[in-house]
């Protein structure tokens, strides 16, 4: 939930706020918690006090609900400046080739899916995620932070006009791999599809429509995750976890 007047975003959920407090306490403008959560936030409260920022125990959980717009606050809400996702251009674009792997989201529209993808990326060590600026792409939100379970403090988000825009401008050693359940290539074939020394860029599509035809055409290759056939495809966040893990393990093996 955003406070447009103060240009703030509410971060709620115990793990999300705890990671924020530990990794980036300087972002917290105001902090509110229930009595039973207070013991976990002593260090950041001392930091806030030294900077004359607001923190306090709430009288009722209703106050937390009002701050974050959700009953899923888990007893703590931090207000941070509304995040601004930087544009991926210039040096940052060229540095994609130095990464272990990169994620590109092609109109993933559900904030909870975005949060789950960020959680998986942080867990496996994929620290660079690119979002398109298209209208149907989910952006940073309170629910996304909560579902990411602290993952937001370990990844960098970048924005581009569209997936096709960035796929046309990748450094030579970055190879794009689109997730498409109709592909003839299996996920385990990434070992063959990713050249030695290359950085894989995994492209994930919209929950309902998948990758756009233009994005598919722009990818270096496409892969699928096969199941029994009883269900056509995985949820995009589930697919992301499998693809991130597989790509990172392949890159690590080739480095060794």
- What are the C-alpha distances in Å from 6 to residues 62, 80, 81, 147? 21, 10, 8, 24
pLDDT of the residue at 231: 86
pLDDT of the residue at 1: 63
Its pTM stands at 0.94
Starting at the edge strand found earlier in the chain, the sheet holding 102-106 runs 156-160, 128-132, 102-106, 199-205, 174-179, 221-223
pLDDT of the residue at 256: 61
Which pairing describes strands 102-106 and 128-132: parallel, antiparallel, or unpaired? parallel
Identify the band that residue 190 occupies on the pLDDT scale cut at 50, 70 and 90.
very high
Which pairing describes strands 76-81 and 30-33: parallel, antiparallel, or unpaired? antiparallel
Q: How many C-alpha atoms does 142 have within 13 Å on its Cβ side?
A: 25
Structure tokens at 58: 């709430």
**Superfamily of domain 2-81 in the CATH hierarchy:** Ribosomal protein L30/S12 (3.30.1330.30)
pLDDT tens digits along 225-256: 998 889 888 899 999 999 999 999 998 887 66
User: What CATH architecture applies to the domain 90-255?
Assistant: 3-Layer(aba) Sandwich (3.40)
CB atoms within 10 A of CB 103: 27
pLDDT tens digits along 33-50: 999 999 999 999 999 999
Rounded Cα–Cα distance for residues 130 and 105 (Å): 6
Rounded Cα–Cα distance for residues 28 and 8 (Å): 10
Q: Which of 200, 201, 206 is nearest to 235 (CA)?
A: 206
For the chain, domain boundaries: 2-81, 90-255
251 within 8 A of 126, measured Cβ to Cβ? no
Q: Which of 160, 182, 178, 177 is nearest to 169 (CA)?
A: 160
């Amino acid at each position: 939930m955003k406070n447009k007047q103060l240009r703030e975003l509410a971060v709620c959920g115990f793990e999300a706020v705890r990671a924020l407090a530990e990794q980036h306490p300087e972002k917290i403008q105001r902090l509110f918690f229930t009595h039973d959560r207070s013991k976990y936030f002593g260090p950041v409260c001392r930091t806030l006090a030294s900077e004359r920022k607001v923190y306090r125990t709430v009288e009722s959980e209703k106050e937390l609900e009002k701050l974050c717009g959700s009953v899923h606050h888990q007893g703590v809400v931090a207000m941070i400046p509304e995040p601004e996702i930087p544009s991926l251009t210039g040096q940052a674009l060229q540095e994609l080739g130095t990464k272990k792997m990169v994620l590109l989201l092609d109109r993933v529209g559900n904030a909870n899916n975005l949060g789950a993808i960020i959680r998986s990326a942080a867990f496996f060590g994929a620290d660079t995620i690119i979002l398109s600026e298209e209208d149907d792409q989910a952006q940073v939100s309170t629910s996304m932070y909560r579902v990411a379970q602290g993952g937001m403090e370990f990844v960098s988000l970048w924005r581009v006009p569209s997936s096709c825009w960035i796929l046309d401008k990748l450094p030579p050693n970055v190879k794009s791999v689109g997730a498409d359940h109709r592909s003839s290539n299996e996920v385990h074939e990434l070992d063959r599809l990713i050249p030695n020394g290359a950085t894989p860029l995994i492209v994930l599509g919209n929950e309902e429509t998948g990758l756009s035809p233009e994005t598919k055409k722009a990818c270096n290759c496409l892969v699928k995750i096969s199941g029994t056939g009883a269900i056509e495809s995985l949820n995009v966040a589930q697919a992301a976890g499998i693809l991130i893990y597989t790509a990172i393990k392949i890159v690590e093996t080739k480095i060794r």
